[in-house]
Structure 1
Amino acid sequence: METKLNEDSLGPILQRRFVGMGYAHNFDLSNHGRILLLWGMHKVDVDIILTTEQYIHCRVCCRISSKGFLVTFVYGLHSIVTRRPLWEALTDLGDTISESWMIMTDFNSFLLIHEKQGGSPVTNHEMRDMQIYAQACGLVDLLSVGYCLTWSNGNISCKLDRSLVNSFWLMADFDAYAEFTIPGCLLDHSCTIVHTLAKDRAPNRPFKFLNMWTLHKDFLKVVEDSWAAPVIGNAQFILKTKLFQFKKCLRELNKNHFGHISEKARRAKDELTEIQKGILDGGPIPLEYSHVRKKITLLIEAERQFYQQRAKNVYLRNSDKCTKFFHDVVKRNNKRNAIIMLKKRDGEQTTSLGEVAEEFVDYFHGLLGQKEVCVE
């Protein structure tokens, strides 16, 4: 005989066991229960918006920072057919959302072929519904650490748990990542922990070489002059100093000729348009016409290379450079490349940028050694 959990039987138990905590569940919609949410009422406010058999959709607001976002907690059913109402409902839900949104955790489905090891091979039929849903809603995986596969029965391992975020999350000021831990003895799923951090990023940006600089007529001269500058010292000091001066010269070149490249390209287009209007109205051809055309050609190509390099997409078209898709790709790449957590040599984990930097310095000191002074 099955026992159906409901608010009447579960409510008093939760109130006694979890004093000072809020709770929500969908046990009235499913035998044995599927999703149970618990939260500290002194830390966050949670407003339940929609509850169904396969997900609970809510709004979470931090009491400390007053930042809020939407979260959908998912526990997908175990067959392709029974999960389809979930994808349809979430797609409809995504069409109405215009703010930061995160969806987690157990989808019971894959996005990619390599997310399963052992057992029968993954087919496109198994992945198609979730892929269509993620694409329709513009969802990407939140930056994650820990283990790639999140479920195992001893013979088969899969990635069934994940945290997906939309473009509004990527554009917002959320410095977050998901951590997938070892399941332990009581579970067969990894625990999914989403860390939301205060911004702790250095204000200065690391130097990045931009391919568009090579388009300028003075680029090679800048390289030659910078590298030919005399420097006195040992080989390592000379190399370090020349690289520093070289970066400085390239930054100056960028500032003078390529800074705010989109704005410069737009102004050049407007200037060329006005000149061409005058010519087509029967006016004389200005002497600077040829120069303006060369200038706009250079700036357009530089702008294209700039956006293509930022998106790291060799198939990027000109028309894509300012679309929502492009900015989502850039944001995703920037956050994926960030080092948000490091396991130190003593086994402890740290998210402090200072400790991460110290760990790198100590590691390379041990790897390369320190300069020894010979005393005669």
Structure 2
Amino acid sequence: MEVADFMFVRQQTSKFTWNISFWNVRGLNNPLKQDKVLQRAHHNKVDVLCLLETRVKKEKSVGLLETKFAKWNVYTNYEYAQNGRIWILLKKDLDFSLCDVSSQSITVKGSFQGATLIITAAYGSNDGISRRLLWHQLREIDIKYGHLPWIVGGDFNIILKSNETSAHELLGPVSSPEMKDFQEVTQELALQDHPFFGPLFTWSRSDHCMALVLLNKEVEANRPKPFKFFNFWALHPSFIHEVHQSWQPTIQGNPMQVLFSKLKRLKGSLKRLNKDCYSDISNRFQQKKIELEMQQLSTLRGDDTLEKELTLQKELKSLEEAELMFLKQKGKAQWLKEGDRCTKFFHSIIAAKNKRDTIRVIVDDQGRRLESFDNMATEVINYFKSLIGTADPSVTNCDPTLLKDLLHYTLPIGASSDLVKGVSTEEIKAAIFNQGNDKAPGPDGYTPYFFKNAGMWLETM
């Protein structure tokens, strides 16, 4: 018994008022089972009913859908999978369109009260290799519709975590390449495991549980966003002055309390700097670009001096650099979503990633260049087959004396004191300056780039 059925969401979807169900019905040929499905859907006021493993032949489905399911619009994947592995049934009054269909998934897009939502019903293959096609299809869908709220549900035929099987207590923490594939795609696409109540194990050899997503309209809470330092703030001429002015007033307490309190107080000054100079930075850049173009025309007509144009060019360049740093820093976590804004920056990231992950040519032992997919695949398989059961002459036996020395190793005289000695200012600086500028900020929201640019002021104040 294990969790085979999952639901994942991305972005807030509380503005919708739809009830969506995912259910592996394990066959829908029996009239009693058909009645049971419709009764459950009616009882739970289901608007979108995603049925998996229907096992209904295509020729039989036509009459069934026109009679018992006549009140529903339907999308199926008979053209890609035998016996219609997936049906998506939609209430007649809902406005939906088909986005993508394959042997392991169907994706639809719905519009309700001016808002749009993407729904993907998935039924993963039992074979791990074939299931990778599903992960690839989800990535393709994300590239096209990643800016929209997205619900992915169904039976993936693989668990995400080891505790999602009843054998967990017996086997303990386990992992597999198939689980890692599943984990990687959910992390890469920023999909969050949907919270639920009900049984943890949704599948046994007898049947699957019906999963129901309730999307109710609620008033969004006005919660303040956590502070995050954006590196482009350090480009502003007033940045160091703002840090200096905020840092000067004395605070009582131990050094850690003083540092924490001053960093907290500085956040207000930096937020004001951002609001006054960088809020809606992409729009500011476009407006400054238009202003420069108008000024250039004025300069050409002789109505104004060249100095004003040069000043605007300098301001535009500063905004362009700030916008690039903003997108680069934000893109570390959301580059797929932001890519749909059609910015050159994110499209270049996507292109570079695809190129980096693509093997275009392999040279075999005979020096021949293999460029076709079939030839490269054959060479890779043959290469790893040849490694099985063969000895590597470059690997030598380990000297028993070396192992004995490692087991009885003792620290040199005086080395133990290095483990408890104080940390110097130079070591702290080296640790900070060796970090990448775009590394994730700490719990206080400040990035390494902040301390690199303001650190010497902080140290002297």
* TM-score in terms of structure 2 length: 0.44
Percent identity at matched positions? 19
Bigger RCO of structures 1 and 2 (CA < 8 A, at least 6 apart): 2
Amino acid at match of 1:148: K
1:323 aligned residue (342, 347, 360): 342
Amino acid at match of 1:259: S
The 5-angstrom pairing of residues 253-332 of structure 1 reads 253-281=273-301, 285-312=305-332, 322-323=341-342
> Residues of 2 paired with 1:275 and 1:233: CA distance?
54
1:58 aligned residue (76, 89, 98): 89
* 1:308–1:314 contact (8 Å) kept in structure 2: no
* 1:59–1:71 contact (8 Å) kept in structure 2: no
Does residue 6 of structure 1 match 2:29?
A: yes
* 2:285–2:320 contact (8 Å) kept in structure 1: yes
Deviations 1:79-123 (A, max 9, x none): xxxxx9536x847x679999412223432278xxxxx6xxxxx5x
Does residue 228 of structure 1 match 2:248?
A: yes
* 1:213–1:219 contact (8 Å) kept in structure 2: yes
Amino acid at match of 1:56: W
Counterpart of 2:395? none
Deviation at 1:182, TM superposition (A): 3.6
> Residues of 2 paired with 1:194 and 1:326: CA distance?
36
Q: What SS does the corresponding residue of 2:307 show, helix, strand or coil?
A: coil
> Residues of 1 paired with 2:226 and 2:339: CA distance?
26
> Residues of 1 paired with 2:175 and 2:251: CA distance?
61
Deviation at 1:233, TM superposition (A): 4.2
Counterpart of 2:57? 29
Q: 1:266 to 1:94 in 2, by over 3 A?
A: same
> Residues of 2 paired with 1:47 and 1:274: CA distance?
57
Deviation at 1:48, TM superposition (A): 4.0
Amino acid at match of 1:29: K
> Residues of 1 paired with 2:248 and 2:57: CA distance?
75
Amino acid at match of 2:295: I
Does residue 49 of structure 1 match 2:74?
A: yes
> Residues of 1 paired with 2:328 and 2:265: CA distance?
27
> Residues of 1 paired with 2:37 and 2:152: CA distance?
33
Deviations 1:300-351 (A, max 9, x none): 11112222222226989xx958339999xxxxxxxxxxxxxxxxxxxxxxxx
> Residues of 2 paired with 1:108 and 1:206: CA distance?
41
Deviation at 1:28, TM superposition (A): 4.0
Amino acid at match of 1:100: L
**Count of residue pairs brought into register by the alignment:** 271
> Residues of 2 paired with 1:280 and 1:186: CA distance?
80
> Residues of 2 paired with 1:16 and 1:195: CA distance?
18
Does residue 251 of structure 1 match 2:282?
A: no
Counterpart of 2:123? 106
* TM-score in terms of structure 1 length: 0.52
Q: 1:298 to 1:109 in 2, by over 3 A?
A: farther
Q: 1:313 to 1:282 in 2, by over 3 A?
A: farther
Does residue 210 of structure 1 match 2:210?
A: no
Does residue 177 of structure 1 match 2:194?
A: yes
* 1:177–1:195 contact (8 Å) kept in structure 2: no
The 5-angstrom pairing of residues 139-154 of structure 1 reads 147-148=160-161
RMSD: 5.5
> Residues of 2 paired with 1:299 and 1:258: CA distance?
8
Deviation at 1:253, TM superposition (A): 0.9
- 222-231 vs 17-26, which deviates more? 17-26
> Residues of 2 paired with 1:290 and 1:212: CA distance?
22
* 2:120–2:152 contact (8 Å) kept in structure 1: no
Deviation at 1:293, TM superposition (A): 1.0
Q: 1:136 to 1:106 in 2, by over 3 A?
A: closer
Deviation at 1:47, TM superposition (A): 3.8
Q: 1:96 to 1:132 in 2, by over 3 A?
A: farther
Q: Name structure 2 gaps, 5 residues minimum.
A: 1-26, 62-70, 78-83, 154-158, 347-461
The 5-angstrom pairing of residues 333-348 of structure 1 reads none
Does residue 131 of structure 1 match 2:144?
A: no
Q: 1:268 to 1:105 in 2, by over 3 A?
A: same
> Residues of 2 paired with 1:283 and 1:48: CA distance?
65
Q: Name structure 1 gaps, 5 residues minimum.
A: 34-45, 75-83, 111-115, 117-121, 328-376
> Residues of 2 paired with 1:94 and 1:49: CA distance?
13
* 2:122–2:152 contact (8 Å) kept in structure 1: no
Deviation at 1:202, TM superposition (A): 5.0
The 5-angstrom pairing of residues 330-369 of structure 1 reads none
> Residues of 2 paired with 1:309 and 1:127: CA distance?
30
Determine which structure has more spread, i.e. the larger CA radius of gyration.
Answer: 2
Q: 1:310 to 1:282 in 2, by over 3 A?
A: same
